[in-house]
Amino acid sequence: MIILYDLPSNLPTQAWSGNTWKARFCLNYKGLPYKTEWVEYPDVPSIYKKHGISPVCSFGEGGKYYSLPVIHDTSTGTTIAESLEIAKYLDATYPDAPSVLPKVVEGSAEALSDQAEVVKIIDGDYPLVLPITLHSVGKILNPPSKAHVVQTRAQILGLFGVGTIEEFKFSEEDVNKGWDHLKSIFDALDKKFGGEDGKFGWYLGARISFADFALGGSLLFLKTAWGEDSSEWAKVKNWHNGKWVAALNALDSYTTVV
């Protein structure tokens, strides 16, 4: 059995994090048995310490921080952090299941770099989109995680004395920059997922791969944080002739939360 550690919300399905969705997509696509253990933000370091692993994600000038997803495979006793590393582990450990890094399995280091580069585009420059996502995220988090987000995002933005999500004030210019940055990300992705004719296609063309899950995670994060009926999500839905809605529809079979 594989345990997926994920961040909860106050929504019925709980899942909301784009990063953890990447790992969840992999598990669902491969058809591997797993269960979710929900961990509030302040408790994430305890998962690392429990399993004796070190943080792998970078923050600021080379600093490391504790993040999810993390999986623990009870069959092998292995614990892995970070979604791309999880994908690599699952492909190597369960070769009979469909691969999510197919060219990497065949031994191409260039293929892994290519997938990582696409993920880098999708993730974008995170602080730039905070003016258009932070308040919405705050509304769906449970109190412990909400307090953690206030503290860490204030640090990212260089703000002091901020005690609540509501105290984050963004100018119209900040909001516009946030939208411009988000649109630039999807402009860059347009030709990589099916070409520029408005029709969605898998990143590798013929078959699904980790890059598609990274895209899906980002889209589900935005849709969940803003709400399906929000004006913000309606704006993204209309970009590139509805390509991103088609992407989520194509991934729908792999969005189970267990």
Per DSSP bridges, beta strands 78-81 and 34-38 are unpaired
Q: Are residues 137 and 37 in the same domain?
A: no
Domain count, the chain: 2
Q: Are residues 88 and 176 in the same domain?
A: no
Q: Which domain holds residue 211?
A: 119-254
3-state secondary structure the chain: CEEEEECCCCCCCCCCCHHHHHHHHHHHHHCCCEEEEECCHHHHHHHHHHHCCCCCEEECCCEEECCCCEEEECCCCEEEECHHHHHHHHHHHCCCCCCCCHHHHCCCHHHHHHHHHHHHHHHCCHHHHHHHHHHHHHHHCCHHHHHHHHHHHHHHHCCCCCCCHHHCCCCHHHHHHHHHHHHHHHHHHHCCCCCCCCCCCECCECCCCHHHHHHHHHHHHHHHHHCCCCHHHHHHHHHHHHHHHHHHHHHHHHCCCC
Dihedral, 44, 49, 53, 59 alpha carbons, nearest 10:
40
The percent of residues above 70 in pLDDT, for the chain, comes to 93
**Residue 141 domain-assigned?**
yes
**Residue 113 domain-assigned?**
no
The predicted structure's pLDDT at residue 157 = 85
Q: Which of 105, 129, 150 is the last residue of a domain?
A: 105
Q: How far apart are CA 50 and CA 208, in angstroms?
A: 34
Dihedral, 213, 90, 83, 15 alpha carbons, nearest 10:
70
The predicted structure's pLDDT at residue 14 = 98
Q: Are residues 126 and 240 in the same domain?
A: yes
**Residue 228 domain-assigned?**
yes
The CATH number that applies at residue 93 is: 3.40.30.10
Comparing CA positions, the residue from 14, 2, 5 lying closest to residue 220 is 14
- Tokens representing 57 are 């994600």
Q: Are residues 130 and 69 in the same domain?
A: no
Q: Are residues 194 and 222 in the same domain?
A: yes
Q: How far apart are CA 139 and CA 118, in angstroms?
A: 30
**Residue 110 domain-assigned?**
no
Please say if the pLDDT value at position 182 is more than 90: yes
Q: Which of 105, 135, 170 is the last residue of a domain?
A: 105
Length, in residues, of the chain: 258
Per-residue pLDDT, averaged over 52-81, amounts to 85
Q: Are residues 164 and 73 in the same domain?
A: no
Q: Are residues 15 and 70 in the same domain?
A: yes
The CATH number that applies at residue 248 is: 1.20.1050.10
**Residue 114 domain-assigned?**
no
Q: Are residues 127 and 244 in the same domain?
A: yes
- Tokens representing 208 are 């699904």
Comparing CA positions, the residue from 151, 115, 117 lying closest to residue 159 is 151
**Residue 156 domain-assigned?**
yes
The predicted structure's pLDDT at residue 103 = 66
**Residue 209 domain-assigned?**
yes
Q: Are residues 56 and 26 in the same domain?
A: yes
At residue 206 the predicted structure's pLDDT band, cuts being 50, 70 and 90, is confident
pLDDT digit string, tens, across residues 210-235: 999 999 999 999 999 999 999 999 99
Residue matched to tokens 């989520």: 248
Q: Are residues 83 and 124 in the same domain?
A: no
Q: Which of 70, 105, 140 is the last residue of a domain?
A: 105
The predicted structure's pLDDT at residue 197 = 77
- Tokens representing 11 are 């929504």
**Residue 112 domain-assigned?**
no
* Average pLDDT for the chain: 92
pLDDT digit string, tens, across residues 91-135: 999 999 999 998 655 555 566 788 888 999 998 888 899 999 999
Q: Are residues 129 and 250 in the same domain?
A: yes
Cis peptide before 69 (omega within 30 of 0): yes
pLDDT digit string, tens, across residues 28-44: 999 999 999 999 999 99
Q: Are residues 101 and 135 in the same domain?
A: no
